[in-house]
Amino acid sequence: MRRVDPLLGTCALDTLRQRRSMKWRTYPADVLPAFVAEMDFDLAQPVIDAVTRALALGDSGYGHLGVLGEVFAGFAAGRLGWAPDPARVFAIPDVMSGLAEVVQALTPPGAGVVINPPVYPPFWFRFGFSGRRIVEAPLAVDSGGRYQLDPDALDRALAEPGVRAYLLCSPHNPTGSVWTREQLHTVADLCLRHDVALVVDEIHAPLVLAGAEYVPFLSIDHEMTARAFAFTSASKGWNIAGLKCGLVVSGSAAGDKLLAGRWEAFLPGHLGVLASVAAFTDGLPWLDAVRAQLDENRWLLRRLLAEQLPGARYQPPQASFLAWIDCRELGLDGDPAATFLERGRVALSPGGDFGRQGDGFARLNMGTSPGLLAEAVRRMAAATR
Ligand SMILES: Cc1ncc(COP(=O)(O)O)c(C=O)c1O
């Protein structure tokens, strides 16, 4: 196997086990963690420099947007084919709390929020904290095994009484699907017809992989963009979730007003802002090294599963580092992730956490070296014997 790009470090297990994040502290040391969405690579040097410089200065106060709007707009123009107005970009502590805040502002208590299962587990419970309820529009699987938006299911869900918002995950976690411009237009038409607000979680967009064309929702030519908010972050792309900074971009002056009115009660982490600025400006060579590694890993995983777990079904993702594996033909009882953990000592995310559509599936984190990815599959295979 090829060595990891020097920009990404070596992913040495003894060094990784010194980390104290959720990934490395949830399970005992004999378990290989491949669950929560943290990557194993060394951080981008510009990010390390920005944070250490701030700490050396005692610069650890409240977050200030600074040039974040401008540098994100520059990144979006260069990499995502989209030129948002920097004045429309607001910093938030993280994507989930930003989504919750905006959904709360846009909908009355008791309102329905549509999601597309199987989907990122907090989508299921986060909006319930403020008394909103979830309405399901499940994804469909096409003949090639790729998950797609199902316009009929979406139409039905948006028509349900009391539905006031739709949360689209783009690119989609855990399926790795990247939606086409045509699909986004269909979504926009349906939201407009049903008079429903649209919030789009684009957190995995920096990690779109070779061969997929990613379209930011607010870049499409459609009047629904004026009623939409796009959420993103450097937290997945550059592995800095713990620094607490996300971004929300509004699609209209009314949206700007809604966000501006919340700004002082809703500050991002200061170190997160500084790290995000460094990532969006000087972190592109590192990002490209990660994308190249993930591209290699997604095909390597296909080979390893075919060799060692031939009953597993997996469609390489079009974006990011999450592999959604159908384990229903492996002949395991109950939750496959529980079997992998108990008998193989490797921790994946249980598919059922993503909705009942995920029963019999498991999500594997591929944001690591080829060597550790191979070790994860070896442990999964051992668990099934
Ligand atoms: C689709 C999606 N949205 C949101 C998040 C969480 O982002 P944040 O930590 O900024 O809330 C994740 C984390 O993996 C995610 O996959």
The residue contributing the CA closest to ligand 1 atom 13 is 37
Structure tokens at 291: 């994308």
Tell me the best of 235, 247, 273, 322 to mutate to test the pocket of ligand 1, counting ligand atoms within 8 Å of each CB and taking the most.
235
**pLDDT at residue 2, rounded to an integer:** 58
Percent of the chain with pLDDT over 70: 99
Residue 319 · residue 358 · CB < 8 Å: no
Distance 232 CA to ligand 1 centre (A): 9
Distance 186 CA to ligand 1 centre (A): 24
State the virtual CA torsion across 70, 75, 77, 78 in degrees, nearest 10.
140
The residue contributing the CA closest to ligand 1 atom 14 is 37
pLDDT higher than threshold 60 for residue 1: no
Atom number in ligand 1 closest to CA 93: 10
Residue 25 · residue 242 · CB < 8 Å: no
Distance 317 CA to ligand 1 centre (A): 17
Instruction: Work out the mean pLDDT of the chain and round it to a whole number.
Output: 97
**pLDDT at residue 262, rounded to an integer:** 87
Distance 144 CA to ligand 1 centre (A): 27
Distance 301 CA to ligand 1 centre (A): 23
In the chain, beta strands by DSSP E = 32-33, 89-92, 112-115, 133-136, 140-141, 147-148, 163-169, 197-201, 228-232, 246-250, 313-314, 322-326, 346-347, 349-350, 361-365
SS3 249: strand
In angstroms, rounded to a whole number, what is the distance separating the alpha carbons of residues 20 and 146?
A: 35
Kindly write down the DSSP assignment for every residue of 162-177, as one continuous string.
Answer: TEEEEEEESS-TTT--
| Dihedral of alpha carbons 329, 335, 340, 346, sign | positive
Smallest CA-to-CA distance from 257 within 67, 76, 87 is with 87
In angstroms, rounded to a whole number, what is the distance separating the alpha carbons of residues 355 and 369?
A: 29
pLDDT higher than threshold 90 for residue 299: yes
The residue contributing the CA closest to ligand 1 atom 1 is 173
SS3 135: strand
Measured from CB, residues less than 6 Å from any atom of ligand 1 are 37, 94-96, 120, 169, 173, 201, 203, 233, 235-236, 241, 246
In angstroms, rounded to a whole number, what is the distance separating the alpha carbons of residues 268 and 97?
A: 11
The residue contributing the CA closest to ligand 1 atom 7 is 95
pLDDT higher than threshold 60 for residue 259: yes
Least confident interval from 40-49, 191-200, 257-266, 276-285? 257-266
226-248 per-position pLDDT tens digit? 999 999 999 999 999 999 999 99
Distance 203 CA to ligand 1 centre (A): 6
Atom number in ligand 1 closest to CA 96: 11
Structure tokens at 351: 């598919």
pLDDT higher than threshold 60 for residue 249: yes
Read off the DSSP letter of residue 262.
T
Residue 281 · residue 71 · CB < 8 Å: yes
Smallest CA-to-CA distance from 320 within 214, 217, 183 is with 214
**pLDDT at residue 266, rounded to an integer:** 87
21-77 per-position pLDDT tens digit? 999 999 999 999 999 999 999 999 999 999 999 999 999 999 999 999 999 999 999
pLDDT higher than threshold 70 for residue 278: yes
**pLDDT at residue 3, rounded to an integer:** 66
Residue 167 · residue 99 · CB < 8 Å: yes
pLDDT higher than threshold 70 for residue 122: yes
Distance 97 CA to ligand 1 centre (A): 10
In angstroms, rounded to a whole number, what is the distance separating the alpha carbons of residues 203 and 210?
A: 18
In angstroms, rounded to a whole number, what is the distance separating the alpha carbons of residues 371 and 306?
A: 17
Exposure of 313 by Cβ count < 10 A (0-12 exposed, 13-18 middle, 19+ buried)? middle
Atom number in ligand 1 closest to CA 123: 3
User: From the CB of residue 43, how many other CB atoms can be counted at a distance below 10 Å?
Assistant: 20
**pLDDT at residue 4, rounded to an integer:** 83
pLDDT higher than threshold 70 for residue 19: yes
If pLDDT is split at 50, 70 and 90, which confidence band does 324 have? very high
Distance 157 CA to ligand 1 centre (A): 24
Task: Find how far residue 16's CA is from the centre of its chain.
Answer: 22
In angstroms, rounded to a whole number, what is the distance separating the alpha carbons of residues 211 and 248?
A: 27
Across 368-384, b (16+ Cβ under 10 Å) vs e yields: bbbebbbbbbebbbebb
Atom number in ligand 1 closest to CA 98: 11
Average pLDDT over every residue of 96-108: 97
Atom number in ligand 1 closest to CA 235: 10
167-179 per-position pLDDT tens digit? 999 999 999 999 9
Tell me the best of 103, 115, 120, 363 to mutate to test the pocket of ligand 1, counting ligand atoms within 8 Å of each CB and taking the most.
120
Distance 175 CA to ligand 1 centre (A): 14
pLDDT higher than threshold 60 for residue 304: yes
Tell me the best of 236, 240, 244 to mutate to test the pocket of ligand 1, counting ligand atoms within 8 Å of each CB and taking the most.
236
